[in-house]
Amino acid sequence: MTGPDDLPPPPYPAPVDATEPVPPAPVPPVVERPSPLTGVAHGGIALGAAVLVVVQQLGSGEVDDLTTQGIVAGVISLGVVLVAGLYGLFAWRTTSFVVADEEFRVERNFISRSSSKVDYTKVQAVEIAQPFVARLLGLAKVHIDVGGAGGLDLAFLANSRAEELREHLLARAARAKAVGQFPPPAVPPSAPAGENLPDALPGEDRPYAPPDFAPPAETPEELVHAMPPATLLIGALVSSPALVFSLAALPALVFSLIFGASVPVIGVLLAFGGWAWANIGSNWGFRMTRRGDTLRVTRGFASTTAQGLRPERIQGIAVHQDLLQRLTGHYRVTVTVLGFAESANAESSSANAVILPYGTWGDVLKVLGVVWPGLDLNTIQPVPQPARARWLTPMAFSQHTWGVGPDVVVAHHGLLEHTLTIVPHRRMQSLEVEQGPLQRWLGLATVAIHTTDGPVSLRLYHLDQETARGVFVDQLDRGRRAREDAA
């Protein structure tokens, strides 16, 4: 899947000054373009979308004059596909990326000229996505999460190349974090800018990382958890969206039986089928593996997603159980990870935050054990709310408990759906205690532990106000000690 290699590779840019003492031999930066098939992939994705729209239009029965509208739809689709294909072609011709020893840079020279530089220390996660068409072509898209400043997308690379790039970025990020700072930059050989590049760039198919910086090579990848398809199917079937769909289907079914109209039932079935396809398709073959201290999550049926995840970036964990999942004993585990909040769109970021779509309690403990090895939930004594808190939470009272362990704060709540939230002291940002008028009357107060934004939020509801003040003060101490220990 690489570009035409018939041109002789041009010589590397200015060699390093030999008189200067350079501890690690500098690696000449690898300059590379996305795959030449990028245009085809963009066009193909647009074609897929166009076909989907046309099918939906046909399905919704809005098309009465099939020939005319078919022709119009065909012309519009063709236009869209052409534009997308041309865009991809231009994107390929005008994009180049530079993988150097101390930086990763993407140069774009399309409509506006831009150069985005990624500091390896800022890399939070690297994700590879394969839309269906790209998968057929053996291509993949790389998304680099860099905390607050948004992310960087690189589309499309040959599959294997994308994997190598991710390994390189993660290895480099881990090293950068371990060292704290990079060794003094060893005379960065200035890489050529994007415009006058030949088709084949120097360094294509050259490994990104020199051997001494390739720790993943000797540490084997070990399987943490693989979700069996049965678990996925049962878990999805008893999840809350499925329950909502079946509740919505009941009146539709009654309506259909009484009036003999099948449209509502078909509508509900289609909606359910769409949801089930998306949910099961995206979580199909869920696997979590570990290599060194980096976790890797792969999933997906039609389009596979693989993301690298560093446990120290996880700010909080929520274990969630839907109503019917209480019967089957299934749980879902979501995490707040630094950098994921800014992912391309809300839907994908919430999907990315799931590190176990459906699993038994044993699976949950297995995953937790990998993420935070020292954590033992059994040692944390759950504390109930004081009895007078029943006035404020009459239904869910028995489910509200909280507890403090040596390293984490946990809280459990939920009447129908249970949620267990875990936040390490080390990850606490700020701390708040609040009291509304009713709580003041009852002598209660709520403690909120602020973490970075994500699906996990931890609040200890309706504590006795003396206890709340105590928890507040102690928790500040615990947070400070945890930060000092880590520093």
Partner 1 sequence: MSNTLFAPPGTDWQRLSPRYLTMKLLLIPIGWTVAFVPPAVAAFLFVEPRWVGWTVVAVWAVFLTWRLVRAPFAFRRWGYAERDTDVYLTSGLFQRRLVCVPYGRMQLVELESGPLERAFGLATVEMITASTQGGIKIPGLRYEDAAALRERLIARGETQQAGI
Number of residues that bind partner 1 (CB under 8 A): 33
Q: Of the candidates 138, 225, 208, which has an alpha carbon nearest to the alpha carbon of residue 170?
A: 208
Contact 456, 334 (CB under 8 A): yes
- Strands of the 408-413 sheet, one edge to the other: 354-359, 331-337, 314-321, 418-424, 408-413, 401-404, 383-384
For residue 276, state whether it binds partner 1 (rule: CB under 8 A). Answer: no
Residue 238, φ and ψ in degrees, nearest 5? -100, 10
Window contacting partner 1 (CB under 8 A); options: 49-57, 161-169, 351-359, 443-451: 443-451
CA dist 375 and 364 (Å) reads 12
Residue placing its CB nearer to partner 1 in the complex, 117 or 481 = 481
Judged by CB under 8 A, which of 203, 466, 471, 478 binds partner 1? Answer: 466
Task: Fill in the amino acid letter for 179.
Answer: V
Give the shortest CB-383-to-partner 1 separation in angstroms. 18
Q: Of the candidates 177, 165, 104, which has an alpha carbon nearest to the alpha carbon of residue 308?
A: 165
Q: Of the candidates 431, 478, 438, which has an alpha carbon nearest to the alpha carbon of residue 462?
A: 438
For residue 453, state whether it binds partner 1 (rule: CB under 8 A). Answer: yes
Contact 45, 134 (CB under 8 A): yes
Q: Looking only at residues 283 through 322 of this chain, which bind partner 1 when binding is defined by CB under 8 A?
A: 315
Give the shortest CB-463-to-partner 1 separation in angstroms. 10
Contact 138, 126 (CB under 8 A): no
Residue placing its CB nearer to partner 1 in the complex, 135 or 450 = 450
For residue 465, state whether it binds partner 1 (rule: CB under 8 A). Answer: yes
For residue 176, state whether it binds partner 1 (rule: CB under 8 A). Answer: no
Contact 355, 335 (CB under 8 A): yes
Residue placing its CB nearer to partner 1 in the complex, 298 or 467 = 467
Window contacting partner 1 (CB under 8 A); options: 12-20, 23-31, 288-296, 440-448: 440-448
Residue placing its CB nearer to partner 1 in the complex, 120 or 358 = 120
For residue 457, state whether it binds partner 1 (rule: CB under 8 A). Answer: yes
Please give the DSSP secondary-structure letter assigned to residue 23: S
Task: Fill in the amino acid letter for 187.
Answer: V
Read out DSSP for 410-429? EEEE-SSSEEEEEEEGGG--
For residue 435, state whether it binds partner 1 (rule: CB under 8 A). Answer: yes
Window contacting partner 1 (CB under 8 A); options: 24-32, 209-217, 400-408, 432-440: 432-440
Q: Looking only at residues 318 through 347 of this chain, which bind partner 1 when binding is defined by CB under 8 A?
A: 338
Contact 47, 207 (CB under 8 A): no
Task: Fill in the amino acid letter for 125.
Answer: A
For residue 448, state whether it binds partner 1 (rule: CB under 8 A). Answer: yes
Give the shortest CB-450-to-partner 1 separation in angstroms. 4
Contact footprint for partner 1 (CB under 8 A)? 147-148, 315, 338, 429-437, 440, 445, 448, 450-453, 457, 465-466, 468-469, 472-473, 476, 479-480, 483, 486-487
